[in-house]
Amino acid sequence: MQDSTEAAPVRAGEDELESAAERAQAALLGGRLAAARGAAEGALKQCGPSPALYAVLGRAHAAEDEDDHDDRAETVYRSGLAAFPDDPDLLAGYAELCLRSDPFDRPARHGRGPGLVERLREVAPGSPQALRLEQAAADRGRPSSGTGIRPPSPSRVQRHDVRETVRTTSNLAAAARGAQEQSGREPYDLRLAVRAETLAVLARPGRGLLVRILMAPLLSLPLGAVLVSAIVLARPAFHLPAWVPLLGLVVCLPYVVLSLMLRGARKRAELRGPATAPIADRTKEMDAAPAGAAENAPGSDGGPQHRPNVQVSPCPPPPDAAPRRHRVVALTSAAVVVASVTGSLLWSNAQYRSYPRYTTSAPASFRGAPLLTGHPVQALLESTMATEWSTGDGRTFSYAYGRSPQALVPATLVFGATGDFHEASADVARFFEEGLRFAGNTPTHAWTADAGRLGGWLRCVTYAGPLGDASTACSWADKGGLATVVLNETGLSHEAAASSTRSLLATLLHRTDRRQAPTAS
């Protein structure tokens, strides 16, 4: 009777420990790392040391993949191994942390990895935890067995397993359920867990395109590269808007989404590792392990030491490293995209910096009025432009037309400049309008007119002239020049003012970089 009353608190404590461990494991599997750490730390304080809790707490820190959390994970593992030096899960978790650490940033931690691996092989030879270490070594891209052969990366194994499964089934959802069941029967197998998580995310609705990209990498990668190249090169080739190359990102989006999905599936599978198996199952397996397992392990008889090549996964043998043709296709596709983007940028920049070259030659008359020379308004305008206008390598010009040289204002006045204005925009054509507003002369009407064969931009305004009569001024600009035509004539319609401006500038400006009339830049 007394024995049963003493055993009851013990069983109650074990049940409480298992419950606390399950809560921490559930939070870890759900990706709630902070909650998992809080549950594990609380249970350690309340229930005392437990290898399962130490393992979950260490993995919850290590999963953050940050230096501070890695330091805390190492502290947790060392504390756990001080109390439970032969626990396979603690040895495996600590070894993974050490193997993935930077040998330059954390040389001491990195150097402890091989010793932990050997210790695990002594304690639990051929165990699932040892398989996880093989995967951890492959994740860092270094040989993990005595053969010295570099194993395939986890991403390649993941893609290979999914392709093999999809090729042998017509129902992806059923295959995902089967993979989950098989992974549940082998909770320690990382490869099965990765396959199950990947199939589960690909089996969701709307993932057909991602599955096709995954199944045909030798076709999808070059096709995507060609589409991106065509989009980015079309912009300068056809003078399309600047946002058109952004459509290339839409083509790249499925590839990025697929990569993130596969990475997320591997991350979730890692959280389903040995440290997250039910604590009761792990306790039974440890209790059932033969007492002489370590002594009977390969190399424990005093003979030559060697690393066991244990294949405990029911999956087919893993593939070799990426074939040469896969690497060539991937590198060629990347090179095509980089070359096309670079070429598009250089081409667009050359177009942006190019500008039409003009010379000026004033017609002898305009609208029946002869060209005037030495008119006071023209002389004042030339002096102002010489002191206030900066045209770089260009030059300014001004011409006046009228029937009477003694008139206060000419009938038509045209002035402007030619040169490098490759940064010009439609706002430049508003310079005369803004000047009127600055001088306190508010325009009565303002409108944007068609520049016609001139190209560029054309903006017209009507305002009260110096004699109180209505005047019209039309300002034109492109990347190689700007000009304003002032028509001191009442009753001009909008179309007549714009047409007169186009006619005068087409006669005045002459392109020297090609044999045709000015066009849009």
Please report, for the domain that includes residue 453, its CATH number: 3.40.1000
Q: Give the pLDDT of residue 467.
A: 63
Highest mean pLDDT of the ranges 7-16, 306-315, 349-358? 349-358
Judged by average pLDDT, the poorest of 103-112, 146-155, 394-403 is: 146-155
Please state, for a pLDDT cut of 70, what percent of the chain lies above it. 81
Q: Give the pLDDT of residue 311.
A: 40
Whether residue 32 is found in the same domain as residue 124: yes
Secondary structure of 30-45 as H, E, C letters: CCCHHHHHHHHHHHHH
Q: Give the pLDDT of residue 65.
A: 84
Both tokens of 334, joined, read 């990347």
Q: Which helix (H) or strand (E) holds 360?
A: strand 358-360
Query: Is the pLDDT at 88 greater than 60, yes or no?
Result: yes
Decide if 322 contacts 331 (C-beta within 8 A): no
Tell me what percent of the chain is helix, strand and coil, each rounded to the nearest 5. 60, 10, 30
Query: Is the pLDDT at 9 greater than 60, yes or no?
Result: no
Please report whether residue 16 resides in a domain: yes
Please report whether residue 298 resides in a domain: no
Alpha-carbon Rg for the chain, nearest whole angstrom, is 39
Among 202, 200, 157, 170, which Cα is nearest to 182's? 200
Judged by average pLDDT, the poorest of 193-197, 289-293, 479-483 is: 289-293
pTM for the structure as a whole: 0.66
Both tokens of 431, joined, read 């310079």
Whether residue 225 is found in the same domain as residue 246: yes
Please report whether residue 375 resides in a domain: yes
Query: Is the pLDDT at 414 greater than 60, yes or no?
Result: yes
Whether residue 178 is found in the same domain as residue 191: yes
**Number of Cβ within a 10 Å radius of residue 86:** 15
Q: Give the pLDDT of residue 286.
A: 45
Please report whether residue 301 resides in a domain: no
Whether residue 182 is found in the same domain as residue 133: no
Spatial separation of the C-alpha atoms in residues 146 and 152, rounded to whole Å: 16
Among 431, 449, 61, which Cα is nearest to 275's? 61
Structural domain harbouring 340? 156-268+323-346
Spatial separation of the C-alpha atoms in residues 202 and 163, rounded to whole Å: 12
Where does a domain end: 297, 312, 346? 346
Mean of the pLDDT values across residues 77-87?
A: 94
Where does a domain end: 346, 378, 412? 346
What lies within 8 Å, CB to CB, of 140 at 6+ separation is 99, 100
Q: Give the pLDDT of residue 386.
A: 80
Sorting pLDDT into bands at 50, 70 and 90, what band is 131? low
Query: Is the pLDDT at 498 greater than 90, yes or no?
Result: yes
Q: Give the pLDDT of residue 134.
A: 66
Please report whether residue 280 resides in a domain: no
Q: Which residue has the higher pLDDT, 33 or 390?
A: 33
Judged by average pLDDT, the poorest of 54-58, 65-69, 150-154, 398-402 is: 150-154
Whether residue 50 is found in the same domain as residue 129: yes
**Number of Cβ within a 10 Å radius of residue 105:** 9
Where does a domain end: 93, 123, 153? 153
Listing DSSP states for 401-453 in one string gives: E-S-TTSSS-SEEEEEEES--TT--GGGGGHHHHHHHHTT---SEEEEE--GG
Mean of the pLDDT values across residues 199-226?
A: 96
Per residue in 356-390, pLDDT (tens digit) is 999 999 999 999 999 999 889 988 888 888 887 76
Q: Give the pLDDT of residue 323.
A: 77
Whether residue 72 is found in the same domain as residue 120: yes
Judged by average pLDDT, the poorest of 105-119, 300-314, 434-448, 483-497 is: 300-314
Sorting pLDDT into bands at 50, 70 and 90, what band is 475? very high
Whether residue 30 is found in the same domain as residue 58: yes
Spatial separation of the C-alpha atoms in residues 135 and 197, rounded to whole Å: 16
Please report whether residue 293 resides in a domain: no
Whether residue 370 is found in the same domain as residue 337: no
Sorting pLDDT into bands at 50, 70 and 90, what band is 393? low
Please report whether residue 481 resides in a domain: yes
Q: Domain count for the chain, please give it.
A: 3
Q: Give the pLDDT of residue 293.
A: 40
Both tokens of 112, joined, read 């402890």
Per residue in 293-343, pLDDT (tens digit) is 444 443 444 433 333 443 445 676 777 766 788 889 999 999 999 999 999
Q: Which residue has the higher pLDDT, 214 or 18?
A: 214
* CATH of residue 71: 1.25.40.10
Mean pLDDT, the chain, whole residue set: 83
Q: Give the pLDDT of residue 245.
A: 94
Whether residue 46 is found in the same domain as residue 162: no
Whether residue 143 is found in the same domain as residue 27: yes
Please report whether residue 285 resides in a domain: no
Whether residue 195 is found in the same domain as residue 259: yes
Sorting pLDDT into bands at 50, 70 and 90, what band is 190? confident
Whether residue 263 is found in the same domain as residue 341: yes
Query: Is the pLDDT at 187 greater than 80, yes or no?
Result: no
Judged by average pLDDT, the poorest of 92-96, 103-107, 389-393, 430-434 is: 389-393
Among 78, 84, 144, which Cα is nearest to 112's? 78
